[in-house]
Structure formats: C-alpha cells, structure tokens
Amino acid sequence: MTKAFNAARTKIVATLGPASGTEEGILALAEAGANLFRINFSHGAHSEHGARIQAVRAVEKRLGRPIGILADVQGPKLRVGTFAEGRVVLENGARFVLDMEDAPGDATRVRLPHPEIISAASPGTSLLLDDGKLRLRILECHPGKLVTEVVTGGPLSDRKGVNVPDMVLPIPALTAKDKADLAYALDQGVDYIGLSFVQRPADVEEARALVQGRAWIMTKIEKPQALDELDAILALSDAVMVARGDLGVELPPERVPLEQKRIVRAARLRGLPVVVATQMLESMISAPAPTRAEASDVATAVFDGADAVMLSGETAVGRYPVEAVSIMNRIALQVEADEGWRAVQDNTRQVPDHTVSDAIAGAAQQVASTTGAKAIVAYTRSGRTAVRISRERPDCAVLGIAGTIEAARRLQVAWGVQAMVVDQDRPDETVEDIVQAATQLARQAGIADTGDLLVVAAGVPFGQAGSTNLLRIVRLKP
C-alpha cells in the first residue's frame, strides 16, 4: 500500500469513456484524485466495459491501493417512435396524439410504445419530451391513445426521450437489458451497482434480490416519485446518488438545489455514502477550466457534507479529463481547509442510533477530538464500521482496515476513509494483535508516527461483520 497523495476527504467519482478508458488514462485520473470509476452501461458493448474494468484493476495493482468500480445500469428509458421525415416541429397550442400505431409519425401524432404510460395517464397531467425541452398536457385518455395539447413546442426527432413527472408507472426499475448488464457486471466483480430511475422501495428490493450481496447498491434519486418515498428507499440502499440530470428534467429548476440538500441530509442521517452528480464541471468537456458557477456548485456539495462528487461527460468524452479531476480535488481541499466548513460539519453531526456499533462510532469521534488523535482506525470486516465512523466527519484521518479487498474497494466512496486490506480470518487473533496491526498500518499509510495517538474501533469476536463493540486508545511506540 502506497502513501496517499494530497487528496481531499470528499471522494471523486469519474466516469470512464473514450477519453479516459485506457490503463494509462485511468492511471492519470487516479493520480489526479479519482477514487471510484463509473462504467455507464447505457452506452457501449460488454467487451468495452470488461476491458475498462480490467484496466482499473491493473491500475489498482500499479498504485498499490484499492480502487472502486460503479456499474451504472440504464434503467427503463422511455422514448417516442419515429417520424416519416425524421423530425417535426410542434407548435404551441396544437393538438398532438400519442398512440400505439406502428405508422411513422408527423406533426399531428407519433407512436408511444409504452402502454403503461397510456394506462397510468389522466387528463391534466404533463408529459416532457427530449429532456424536458417540450411539454405536453394531456387532454383526453382513450384505449391505446392520448390526446395532448402542446404547451411548450419545438423540434422533435426520432426516438427522443419521454419523462412523466406526474405519475408512477407500473414498470420495474430493471429491464431485460439491465438484468443482462447486471449479471455481466457482477461476474466482472464490480463494487457498486447504480440503480437508475427508481420510483418505489420495491425497485430496490428487486435489485437486491438479484445482486445477492455481491455488490453494494447505489440508488440514484432522479424521479420525483422517489422523493415521495425517500426514507423507505434509503433504508434499502447501501449508498445514494443525487442524479441531477433527470431530476432536473422532471422538477422545476428552483426545486433541484433544495432537493439535493434534502437527499444529502437524509443519507447522512442514515449513515449512507451520498454522491452528488451531473453537470458539476460541464464546461470542462471543451474548456480547460471550469466556470466560477461550476466551482461554486462543487464547493456547495462539499459544504453540505456529500461523501463524493461525480464527473460524467467531463472525464468520459471531454478534452480535459485529468484537469477536471484535478480541479475538483483542489476545490474540495480548499473548502475542507475552511473554518466555516468544519463548523458546518460539527453542527450537522447526527445523534447516534441506540445501537452498540453507533455508540462506538460516535464515541470514537469524540475521543479522537478530545485527545487530538491522529486517526481513527476502523477494523472492519464488511466496511460498514468505517462508513459509520465516516458519518461523524471526524477532524482526524479515518483508516479503514478491511477484511477483504472487496470491502476496501467499497470504501472508496466513503468520506475521508483511507482503506487498506488485512487478513481477518485468524481464529486466535487477540486485541493486542489488532492494536499492533493498526499501529503498523497507520505508519505505513503515513498518517501517524511515534508518540501519536490512535483511536481503534473493532469488534469481538474478530472477523465477524456487524460486531463492532470495542474502542481502544493507543500511543505509537518507537
């Protein structure tokens, strides 16, 4: 394990694509500050994704530190059919019909190959087309047909997307394509599954039944319907993403910042890693530096206590992928050095739940703060103890000593956690063994030295997930 670079405690998720998918490209992003790499299964073939996953694992070996992989499945993408001339222009106030007919469309109608939308629709509700650029209001509902009025018109071309902000659709969050992608991603050993277009808790339950513990589930909140059942959805999730792209299509723009803050607060309350995503440094797809507004957007997410911030097109197809990661890391470092940021983290710290593990996590932060400890060492089998300590946003380093490489990789999205791997299957391991391992690894990571204090959190019996019940204060000896 190599010593960590000058990284912010807020983690960075970088999307891989043509601009960054090679081993050398991934290495450059990781050295610039990326902790977890996103594979977008909405685009590309399995062979491309597999090559990038293998390249990430090769970079992991070269750097000597765990790196996480997020497989982001597409979810149910709703689209209109095609037009006889490939494109039409819808005029404000005009009538426009969406039906199940196979014939190519024109300026008066088009095929809508989604009977579930027609069945769930009601007069007065809205449909959004082409990422919200066009808005239709439903006037009449008939079997196999919706008659709408064009509220906001404009050009509409073949197979543009349909968003339905006013209705819950009776469709699963995982399509047949998603299930095939999911099986492939799990076989490749990814660490997180990004679950798209979740509407209800049952969507997360379905994914969890398919994943069977082979990865953690990162639920993407991008539908207004998910906001209505946010707490129940988060209760079933391992992590959450504020996916502002589609969320911003279906919600008024003025609501998106408030919902972002609400989701971050709710995730922190539950101790779930939370990622803020979409258009964070969008201009850097073609420019070498972000706008001032984009820098402020990243800083706001860091101030709010997000575990991670994410880059999409900036690193997947942009001209300046390494620069985008580097500036995001520098923004986070600058914010985290600010006294106001520390005050916000202290003032938003949650009251521990009435469990032993929560009490230990809360006490670890308090003891570390009181004693001036250099680090909290979380000796964790599954990674969840380190995640729970991360929720406390301690002022010192957090060293997550994981029992498996898989657990260490999942910690790459947890705020402030530096993850390392140690065999935890020794049946004769004692408290002193744990303490000795903690001090050695803290030295190795470069976060503590002779005379420094460590706070060690672990569980007895050792090597069992969910048994955190031990807190020990240790001073490093020469």
The model's pLDDT over 167-200, given as tens digits with 9 standing for 90+, comes to 889 898 899 999 999 999 999 999 999 999 999 9
CB contact at 8 A, 116 and 102 = no
15, 278, 315, 468: the active-site residue:
278
Does 344 map to a domain? Answer: no
State residue 438's pLDDT score: 86
d(CA 352, CA 300): 25
Task: Determine whether 384 is an active site residue.
Answer: no
- The residue from 278, 308, 338 where one domain ends is 338
9, 11, 38, 381: the active-site residue:
38
Number of other residues whose CB lies within 10 A of the CB of residue 74: 17
pLDDT tier, 1 (very low <50, low <70, confident <90, very high otherwise): very low
The model's pLDDT over 73-110, given as tens digits with 9 standing for 90+, comes to 999 989 999 999 999 999 999 999 999 999 999 999 99
Do 299 and 369 belong to one domain? no
Which strand (E) or helix (H) includes residue 431? helix 431-444
Would you say the pTM of this structure is higher than 0.85? Answer: yes
State residue 329's pLDDT score: 97
| Mean pLDDT over each residue of the chain, to the nearest integer | 93
Average pLDDT over residues 47-57: 98
Do 317 and 369 belong to one domain? no
- The residue from 289, 311, 338 where one domain ends is 338
State residue 4's pLDDT score: 44
Does 62 map to a domain? Answer: yes
pLDDT exceeds cutoff 90 at 143: yes
State residue 348's pLDDT score: 83
Sequence-distant (≥ 6) Cβ neighbours of residue 359 within 8 angstroms: 352
CB contact at 8 A, 414 and 307 = yes
Q: Which domain holds residue 435?
A: 356-475
22, 62, 79, 349: the active-site residue:
79
CB contact at 8 A, 2 and 445 = no
11, 160, 220, 381: the active-site residue:
220
Task: Determine whether 38 is an active site residue.
Answer: yes
Total domains in the chain come to: 3
pLDDT exceeds cutoff 70 at 33: yes
Do 258 and 309 belong to one domain? yes
pLDDT exceeds cutoff 80 at 466: no
pLDDT tier, 261 (very low <50, low <70, confident <90, very high otherwise): very high
- Top pLDDT among 39 and 461 is at 39
Average pLDDT over residues 283-303: 97
State residue 29's pLDDT score: 98
Percent of the chain with pLDDT over 90: 82
Do 307 and 408 belong to one domain? no
Do 210 and 67 belong to one domain? yes
- The residue from 310, 338, 366 where one domain ends is 338
State residue 424's pLDDT score: 65
Task: Determine whether 278 is an active site residue.
Answer: yes
Average pLDDT over residues 281-300: 97
Do 311 and 412 belong to one domain? no
Do 325 and 377 belong to one domain? no
Burial 22-41 (b: 16+ CB within 10 A, else e): ebebbbbbbebbbbbbbbbb
The model's pLDDT over 223-246, given as tens digits with 9 standing for 90+, comes to 999 999 999 999 999 999 999 999
pLDDT tier, 474 (very low <50, low <70, confident <90, very high otherwise): very high
336, with CB counted inside 10 A (0-12, 13-18, 19+), is middle
* Gap between the terminal Cα atoms of the chain: 21
Does 423 map to a domain? Answer: yes
pLDDT tier, 470 (very low <50, low <70, confident <90, very high otherwise): confident
pLDDT exceeds cutoff 70 at 207: yes
Structure tokens belonging to residue 37: 């790499």
For the ranges 214-228, 283-297, 324-338, 426-440, the lowest mean pLDDT is seen at 426-440
- Smallest Cα–Cα separation from 459: which of 356, 363, 362, 325? 356
Structure tokens belonging to residue 288: 């070498």
β-pair type (468-475, 375-380): unpaired
Task: Determine whether 137 is an active site residue.
Answer: no
